Amino acid sequence: MPYLSPALNVMVAAARKAGRPLIRDFGELENLQISMKGPADFVTSADQRTERILIEELTKARPGYGFLGEEGGAVEGRDKTHRFIIDPIDGTTNFMHGIPHFAISIALEREGHLVSGVIYNPVTDDLFTAEKSHGAYLNEKRLRVAARTDMGAAVIATGLPFMGKEGHARASAEMALVMNATAGVRRMGAASLDLAYVAAGRFDGFWEHGLQAWDIAAGIVMVKEAGGVITDMRGGDQMLSNGAVVSANDPLHPRLLKLLNSAKP
């Protein structure tokens, strides 16, 4: 059985409540009110409503906690030691196009350390949970990263910069190297789920640049609690601040990191 601390239980309940309207929206995509936030970067009324529900539910259960969210930015709470980091819909473009690969992502930070994570895909009802020192789970199943040690047999996921973003040349150089060294590369469009899939052993690794804290906070807890390794591109632990991640199991991580750092855009 998955371990659910009181705080994690609150996070799960908030994710499930916020997810129910998303299921209805997903079935009625033509009725969504969509506004343009930037080139190929969309925000929907569903994004805004989902974040509002999450904040309301989490605040009700944990008054005084701060927030860092994609839509609302940073909100400091009376309790300076706790902060929720939330992404209401990670994979908004997938959601808008009717692709059932997106997630609500919630992490809890305590005294500057990530301690809990929830990644929930309401359409598939895949609920990934993790608590520091208590493991990672998909619904009732305990998760472990893949045991594969042969890079040539590995499937690695990534994220690519979209129109208007920097880093296209670097991404192409990295992709070329990884494609030639592995069994395949996947680009799924939701970093939180990519990291959850690494934790579940579905992917052997994942890397991406240009991420925000809310994209990866819950996934960092998930991968670590599933026995995986996750670092920034220098092999350090500044993922939340520099927005770059490399994740895999212990044997593959140093090889993937070295390969990526050898790319010459």
Mean pLDDT of the chain: 93
Tokens describing residue 11: 């996070």
Q: What is the pLDDT of residues 6-56, one digit of tens each?
A: 999 999 999 999 999 999 988 887 666 666 655 445 567 889 899 999 999
Per-residue pLDDT, 40: 46
Per-residue pLDDT, 29: 73
Per-residue pLDDT, 39: 46
Q: In whole angstroms, what is the distance from residue 128 CA to residue 197 CA?
A: 9
Please state the rounded mean pLDDT for residues 212-223.
98
Residue % of the chain over a pLDDT of 70: 95
Please state the rounded mean pLDDT for residues 102-114.
97
Per-residue pLDDT, 62: 96
E strand intervals along the chain: 34-38, 41-44, 65-69, 73-75, 79-90, 103-110, 113-121, 126-131, 135-138, 141-142, 155-158, 184-187, 205-208, 229-231, 245-248
Contacts of 133 (CB under 8 A, 6+ apart): 225
More confident of the two residues 186 and 162: 186
Give the burial string for 22-34 (b: 16+ CB within 10 Å, else e): beebbeeeeeeee
With contact defined as beta carbons under 8 Å apart, do 171 and 161 qualify?
Answer: yes
| Domains of the chain and any CATH numbers | 6-142 (3.30.540.10), 151-261 (3.40.190.80)
Contacts of 101 (CB under 8 A, 6+ apart): 91, 94, 121, 188, 189, 190, 193
